Structure 1
Amino acid sequence: MTDAAVDRPRLDAARLRRWLPVYGVYVALVALFAFNAVFTERFLLWENVRIQLVQVAPVVIVALGMAVVIGTEGIDLSVGSVMALAAAIVPIYLGYGAAPAVLMALVGGLVVGLVNGGLVAYVGMQPIVATLALLVAGRGVALVLSGGQLKEIRNPDLIALGSTDLAGLPVSVWLAVALTVVIGFLVRRTVFGRRLVAVGGNRRAADLAGLPVRRVLIGVYVLSALLAAVAGVLAVARIQSSDASQVGLLYELSAITAVVVGGTPLTGGRVRVLGTVAGALLMQLVIATMIKHDLKPSIAEMVQAVIILVAVYAARERRAR
């Protein structure tokens, strides 16, 4: 056997390792969609498609913020608590109108983002430690603000965010699409995007090169918190109530899963925006498929775990190259 024949399988394996983290999520999404189109009853009905899009929209929004944080080799475990905090703030200021209430909810997210970014950039805390503290404290503050009670939302302007359709699609879905375009442009076409990728690739080298590493780190955590606050407002508008104990619960895990499955490595230095959206859609479709076929929730969780392990392994192989 010639050397070329021996090397060919190695080259094919290397190409697969490079290809899988980038395109694997799209292939899996198309394959699962095709399976449901054939074997799942009423799957292609618009009512079902609409429900899936509405459910995945806030996950996409939160995951976009998580992606830019992970791009700097960080993590933000506080996003679910930020959603709860935003949900708790909205009823307090709703008497002044929907716009002031939403604005104050975003201010709450901004404050959490500044705290997270400051702890990571200036205090030097590990991101997982800093954001874990805000995960606990943020929901605690939300529960204090809400008095631990569910509060109904009756403002028609705010409710419209969760119930109104534009050109046949819910407002929340259009907002997720718009934010995807914005984050994609930010990462690909701006100086800030190039800097965050550089910081994630090698923070020490970025610092030695004179890049504003601290400002970049604060910026990504602020952006993540703001997007989580937006998702929290949308959650309140959709369910027409504010429940600080439930809004955003475990969203940090859903967001991290979407980012990892979408091909963004946990080691930083790269952000895959469209991959993140595809990852969120894939995991939503996995859950929906399990429900439609009357499978136990435990099976769905195991399937998701396998998908995550495959995605992380593929990204590790690619990084090793």
Structure 2
Amino acid sequence: MSDEGMIMNNPARKERLSLVSISRHGGLAALAVLLIFNILITPNFLHAQTLAVNVSQVATIALVAVGMTLVIATGGIDLSVGAVMALSGAMAPIIFTSDLAQSYPVLGLGAAFVLPLIAALCCGIFNGALVAILGVQPIIATLIFFISGRGVAQVLTNGNLQTFSNPSFSFIGTARLFGIPVQGWLVIVIAAAIWYVVRYCASGRYLLAVGGNERAARMSGVPVTRVKIMAYATCSVLAGISGLIVVAINSASDAARIGNLMELDAIAAAVVGGAVLSGGRAPIWGAILGAVVIQLVKYTLLANGVADEVALIAKAGIIVAAVYAQQMRKG
């Protein structure tokens, strides 16, 4: 009997194949359902302003989700991304509103972009060193800055909301190119660069090797420690960029709210996009797709009068469904 005949006569096998298909294409299916529902039901969904707002929201999730995908590819997790966003977002207004920056505006503006990202990089290196050098579990290692990072941001701002008017800085949050918010283009450029590295460069192959089988990778000469630190550092820098975008969009910085629960959105987007929590895969474009799905879930619920708390439950359900689908794929 042919393989097709055996499958057709085996209901359990047919069910398993259906689940595998869902796990592979579930993100696209969810996106299609959300788009159709909103086009037919949600008022003004196709309005240019509505689409621009959604692109802006997707951009911040997508950047962090791409970084989270890299960390998950090593078999780790990063709970500190929201705190890194808060720290980055708190630092920028302090820098470009300082007396020195007022005297040298160009220098101050450049420092407002560069110094927060250097701080984010240091946070990522710290997380990566704890995991790769000291052997601390990723959840514990990143929980440290998850707790302390937002506290540092609030200390820097004295717990106050920082408002400002700086068109040069706000450019990354409010400007549009060909009708699309500039942060959307930024996400595409960054994602394309990281995708190229993962797919065609040695460091990308090392990343997947570490997540696939760390012991074998180490025995094969892969610089495991360096790869892990680079993954966490990249994730934190992307979170830092996302924090700057949020501040630029709102022309305000609130250390208590920026990046709040972003770790949940990023993990959900990465998993929906096809990242495997055990490591070994880094679907960069899948993370972008997952970010779009997560944002549309939030938008759909809020636009149709559903409480924000329900959106949290929905995102948790998405993670559970995606992980279950992964288990079916392994089977």
Per-residue CA deviations over 1:274-309 (Å, capped at 9, x if unaligned) read 211111111111111112221233433333332221
Residue identity opposite 2:47 in structure 1: L
Task: State the superposition RMSD in angstroms.
Answer: 1.8
| Aligned residue among 86, 89, 92 for 1:87 | 89
Residue identity opposite 2:195 in structure 1: G
Alignment of 1:58-207 (within 5 A): 58-94=60-96, 95=101, 96-207=107-218
CA gap 1:262/1:89 in 2 versus in 1, 3 angstroms: same
Q: Distance in 1 between matches of 2:95 and 2:311?
A: 39
CA gap 1:163/1:12 in 2 versus in 1, 3 angstroms: same
Q: Equivalent residue of 1:97, what SS?
A: helix
Q: What is the aligned residue count?
A: 320
Q: Equivalent residue of 2:313, what SS?
A: helix
| Aligned residue among 271, 279, 284 for 1:268 | 279
Query: Deviation at 1:115?
Result: 0.4
| Aligned residue among 291, 294, 301 for 1:290 | 301
Query: Deviation at 1:14?
Result: 3.5
Query: Deviation at 1:8?
Result: 4.1
Give % identity.
Answer: 41
| 1:38 matches 2:7 | no
User: 1:200 touches 1:270 (CA, 8 Å); kept in 2?
Assistant: yes
Query: Deviation at 1:317?
Result: 2.0
Query: Deviation at 1:255?
Result: 0.4
Residue in 1 that maps onto 2:263: 252
Per-residue CA deviations over 1:178-213 (Å, capped at 9, x if unaligned) read 112112112111111111111001111111111100
CA gap 1:166/1:28 in 2 versus in 1, 3 angstroms: same
Q: Distance in 1 between matches of 2:146 and 2:26?
A: 31
Residue in 1 that maps onto 2:230: 219
Q: Which structure 2 residue ranges, 5 or more long, are not aligned? A: 102-106
Q: Equivalent residue of 1:263, what SS?
A: coil
| Aligned residue among 277, 281, 285 for 2:288 | 277
User: 1:81 touches 1:248 (CA, 8 Å); kept in 2?
Assistant: yes
Q: Which structure 1 residue ranges, 5 or more long, are not aligned? A: none
Residue in 1 that maps onto 2:14: 12
TM-score (norm 1): 0.95
| 1:242 matches 2:253 | yes
Residue identity opposite 1:72 in structure 2: T
TM-score (norm 2): 0.92
Q: Distance in 2 between matches of 1:300 and 1:136?
A: 24
